[in-house]
Every structure is written in C-alpha cells, then in structure tokens.
C-alpha cells in the first residue's frame, strides 16, 4: 500500500474559489483504494461551514518556529466520503471570510501552512510516500522538505509532485520580507531557486524543488514553455520539461449527471435527450423571463468575468451576438466593466439576455442542462471544467483552441461528420463571431447533424477515472 498526501489551500465541499477545489475534492475518490491510501490536508479556515467543523475530531497540537515567531499548530481530522481529511488550525492565520485576502498576508499564511503540514506528519501515524502539492500556496513545501526537514530520518524517502493549476498566480513578494517570514537562508534566494525578477516566488520554489511537475492538460504543458503563456517562467519550465507532464482534469460524474441531477428541471440521458432536454430550455426561459421560443439559439456562459476568459472578445461584438434569433444567459461575477456590460444588454434586450451577476451552483447546473451551446473563448485555459460539464449535459461547447479546451473539444467537421463542439484558433472577435454563427446555422438548419454532435459529446468520458490512472502511474514511478 502506498501513502499519498494531497496538500492544498481549498477543496470541495469544504471551501472553493475555483477549479483547484474541484480537483482536490474529486481526484482522491477515484484513485485505486487497494493500491493507494490517499489523504488530504487543508487549512482550517474560520470560514469553513459549521456543519463540517462540528464533525471534526481534535488530534493534537504543538508549537512550531516560523523564522523568529513561535506559532500554535492544531491538527483536526474528518473522515468524509471515504477519505481522511486533516485540517491545520491556527486562528491568527486562517481568520477572515474567504481563504485568500491581501497577498502580503497570504504570503505568510501559506509559508506557515506549508511548514505546519510537514511538521504535523510524524504525529499523524501516517507517513506519505508522495506528497502531492497544488499551486503556489504549497510551493514552499518541497523547499522546506529539502531544507531542514531532510535531516530527519522520517522525511528522507518522501517524494513530491507539484501541480500547476494556473501559472498566472505565483505568490510573489519582496525577498527581504519572504526571508524574514520563511526563515530560509540566503542560499535559497538566487535566480536558480526562489528568486525571480528581483522578488521571491513561491510557485517557482515548488517547480524547482519538487520531484515531478504536472499541469492540468497536455496542450497547456506545451504552451507554458513559450513566452506568451509562460508568465515569465518559460525558461524554468523548459529546463524541467523532462519532469513535466500534462494530465487533463476530470469532473465528478456522479455530481454532474443529467440523468440523476436533482438541481435541473427535467432529467434526461443519452438515449432520450432529443425529446427531454428541450423541457429544461423551456423551463429556464420561463424562470429567467426570456421569450418562450424553442427555435432561439440559447448560449450559456458560466464563468469569472475577466479578460483571461475572453470577455473582451465578447464585449467587442456583443451587439452581433445578441441577434434576434439568439438568447444569451450569463452567470458569474468579475470585473465591473463586464458585469455592467451584461446588465446593460439585459436592460436593452430583456426577452433575450439574462445577466445573473452572482454565483449559484443550482443556476449553473440549470444552464448546463438547458442551453443549446456553451461559450468559452478563453485567452488561456490550463484545463477548464465548464466545457466538460457542458459536454456531459449535451450542451455543445464553442471554445477557443487553447490549453485544455483544445484537448477536450473536438471541432465539428461537416464533411466527415465528426466532432463534439465548435472551435476557433486565433484570439480574434470576428473569428469567434463567425464560429458562433456557424454553430447557430448548424443548429437551425441541420437538426439531425446537431443532435449527432450532442450524441458524440455525451458519449465521451471525462470522468476522473482516466486521469486517476495516469496519476497512479506517476505515483508508482516516484
């Protein structure tokens, strides 16, 4: 039996700000239990729901040096869904209503968390063979492991995997402060280690010091070797390319299942979607006050409203997108200019645009189940989960060919009748608009072809099963 410990800053169902939480919450469930004992370690944020806190069991506490400070570390345990979760407790660091706040506070908070995670291990009677770290918040863990901890016998055979979920977020702060916070010696603050462009960089520490690096799709693993996607670290990524692999994320096929989903209006499956799926569209039109019209091409968007997600392209040609035969349903929050853009268009075209400027899991499920198409024109997208959910629900994705979108959506080819969605290559508003119009034309004039696209998309398997097998093989190699 091999022991694997996930260490991360968020995880469903406890706390979530993005796709990272979905991965950390879902992947351990799908790893082969007969071969691997997978456990998860998280911060015990004050913001965790009380219902989970009430079920936690106190294990132990101790005091730990963090540079010149002496800090309390509490350890709690919760067994949930067949997985053991450990929570690192410290009210000073993990207060607040969200997991992240000001970056200068987060820099110290996650230095504490990385060191506390390692320090707690000997007390848990659980020695991991592999520690699987996620994103910059755990970037210091492989560094600490190779530093003082390496001197202790307990830590000698532990290997580390570091997964980059989004290279854009790196955990950067000035070197003097980071030296003071972490207690790491001068040795670590050079350009081949933690230093990058004059500052200290936690993500870089994770990439340099872990035994293996993964990211969340094949295409993204190649893209980040180039200056455009490399966020200033493309040189380092190339240097580590022998120990880098892209493994595409999955989604939880139990939670996202149109046949059993209790959050949607009408259940359906691959066999009966031709008759049943449309009932969801009618019900959503009713609920959102859109025109009741089966023939309208309903496009859904569930996203953070930011430039990364391609909203400047949508902004550029939104008047053309909102043609009379289209309905646009948006769910999400983000940059004010985009929030207001969609509010304005809802005011202008109340019977064909619905701007839901908030987040609701229930409304998200209804959009995946009800719309005809799902739009994701991202500038970059390490993996993307929304397109996997839309494929699962038979809602045809329209995406830009980048990162995980390119790996998971096969473009429709009307001549050899293949493909599961529509895609465009260049980051260009007119190219996006023409592919939206092409999809709309296919929907309106070639209903049989459209249903075949849905058929192929719903038949795909993007559950965690396949990805878990690749992670198992990686753990075994280490």
Q: What is the pLDDT of residues 125-166, one digit of tens each?
A: 899 999 999 999 999 999 999 998 888 789 999 999 999 999
3 state DSSP class of 431: helix
C-alpha closest to that of 161 among 31, 354, 348, 332? 31
pLDDT at 152: 79
Q: How would you label 91-115 residue by residue, b for 16+ Cβ within 10 Å and e otherwise?
A: eebbeeeebeeeeeebbbbbbbbbb
The C-alpha atoms of residue 214 and residue 278 are separated, in whole angstroms, by 40
| Chain CA centroid to CA 177, Å | 29
Other Cβ atoms less than 10 A from the Cβ of 325: the count is 12
The structure tokens listed for 308 are 């990364």
Confirm if 201 and 193 have CB atoms less than 8 A apart.
no
Each domain of the chain, given as residue ranges in start order, spans 2-250+465-477, 273-461
The structure tokens listed for 83 are 């997985």
User: In CATH, which superfamily holds the domain spanning 273-461?
Assistant: Glycogen Phosphorylase B; (3.40.50.2000)
Tokens 């997208």 -> residue: 381
Strand partners, 353: 328
The C-alpha atoms of residue 31 and residue 12 are separated, in whole angstroms, by 17
| Chain CA centroid to CA 187, Å | 33
The C-alpha atoms of residue 402 and residue 294 are separated, in whole angstroms, by 32
DSSP β-ladder status, 212-215 and 159-164: parallel
pLDDT at 221: 97
pLDDT at 151: 82
Global pTM reads 0.93
pLDDT at 148: 84
3 state DSSP class of 155: helix
Other Cβ atoms less than 10 A from the Cβ of 326: the count is 20
- Please identify, in words, the CATH class of the domain defined by 2-250+465-477: alpha beta
The C-alpha atoms of residue 396 and residue 195 are separated, in whole angstroms, by 44
The C-alpha atoms of residue 70 and residue 106 are separated, in whole angstroms, by 18
Q: What is the dihedral of CA 425, 427, 429, 432, to 10 degrees?
A: 30
Other Cβ atoms less than 10 A from the Cβ of 293: the count is 15
Confirm if 366 and 391 have CB atoms less than 8 A apart.
no
pLDDT at 444: 98
The structure tokens listed for 37 are 């004992």
pLDDT at 17: 87
Shared fold status for 2-250+465-477 and 273-461:
yes
**Per residue in 2-26, pLDDT tens?**
999 999 999 999 999 888 999 999 9
The C-alpha atoms of residue 2 and residue 161 are separated, in whole angstroms, by 14
What residues in the chain have per-residue pLDDT under 50?
Answer: none
Angle between helix axes 103-120 and 175-182 (nearest 10 degrees) is 30
The arrangement of strands across the sheet holding 172-174 comes to: 172-174, 199-201, 195-196
């Amino acid at each position: 039996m091999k022991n694997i410990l996930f260490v991360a800053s968020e995880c469903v169902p406890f706390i979530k700000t993005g796709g990272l939480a979905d991965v950390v919450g879902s992947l351990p469930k799908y790893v082969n239990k007969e071969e691997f004992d997978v456990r998860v370690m998280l911060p015990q944020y004050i913001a965790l729901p009380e219902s989970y806190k009430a079920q936690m069991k106190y294990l132990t506490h101790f005091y730990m040096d963090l540079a010149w400070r002496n800090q309390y570390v509490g350890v709690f345990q919760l067994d949930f869904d067949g997985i053991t979760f450990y929570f690192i407790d410290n009210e000073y660091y993990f207060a607040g209503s969200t997991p992240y706040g000001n970056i200068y506070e987060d820099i110290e908070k996650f230095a504490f968390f990385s060191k506390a995670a390692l320090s707690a291990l000997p007390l848990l009677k659980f020695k991991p063979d592999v520690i699987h770290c996620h994103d910059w918040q755990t970037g210091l863990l492989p560094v600490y492991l190779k530093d003082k901890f390496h001197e202790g016998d307990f830590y000698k055979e532990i290997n580390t995997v570091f997964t980059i979920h989004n290279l854009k977020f790196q955990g950067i702060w000035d070197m003097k402060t980071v030296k003071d916070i972490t207690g790491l010696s001068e040795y670590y603050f050079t350009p081949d280690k933690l230093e990058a462009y004059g500052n200290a960089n936690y993500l870089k520490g994770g990439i340099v010091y872990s035994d293996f690096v993964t990211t969340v799709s094949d295409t993204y693993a190649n893209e980040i070797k180039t200056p455009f996607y490399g966020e200033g670290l493309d040189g380092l990524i190339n240097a580590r390319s022998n120990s880098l692999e892209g493994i595409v994320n999955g989604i939880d096929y139990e939670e996202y299942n149109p046949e059993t989903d209790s959050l949607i209006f009408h259940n359906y499956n691959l066999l009966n979607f031709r008759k049943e799926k449309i009932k969801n569209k009618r019900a959503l039109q009713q609920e959102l006050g859109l025109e009741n019209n089966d023939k309208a091409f309903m496009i859904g968007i569930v996203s953070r409203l930011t430039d990364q997600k391609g909203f400047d392209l949508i902004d550029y040609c939104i008047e053309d997108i909102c043609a009379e035969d289209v309905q646009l349903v948006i769910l999400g929050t983000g940059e004010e200019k985009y929030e207001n853009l969609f509010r304005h268009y809802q005011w202008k075209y109340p019977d064909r645009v619905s701007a839901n400027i908030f987040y609701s899991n229930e409304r998200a499920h209804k959009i995946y189940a009800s719309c005809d198409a799902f739009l994701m024109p991202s500038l970059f997208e390490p993996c993307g989960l929304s397109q996997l959910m839309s494929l699962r629900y038979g809602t045809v994705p329209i995406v830009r060919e980048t990162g995980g979108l390119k790996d998971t959506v096969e473009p429709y080819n009307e001549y050899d009748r293949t493909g599961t969605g529509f895609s465009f290559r260049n980051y260009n508003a007119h190219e996006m608009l023409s592919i939206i119009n092409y999809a709309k034309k296919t929907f309106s004039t070639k209903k049989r072809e459209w249903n075949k696209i849905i058929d192929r998309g719903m038949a795909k398997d993007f559950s965690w099963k396949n990805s878990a097998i690749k992670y198992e093989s990686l753990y075994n190699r280490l």
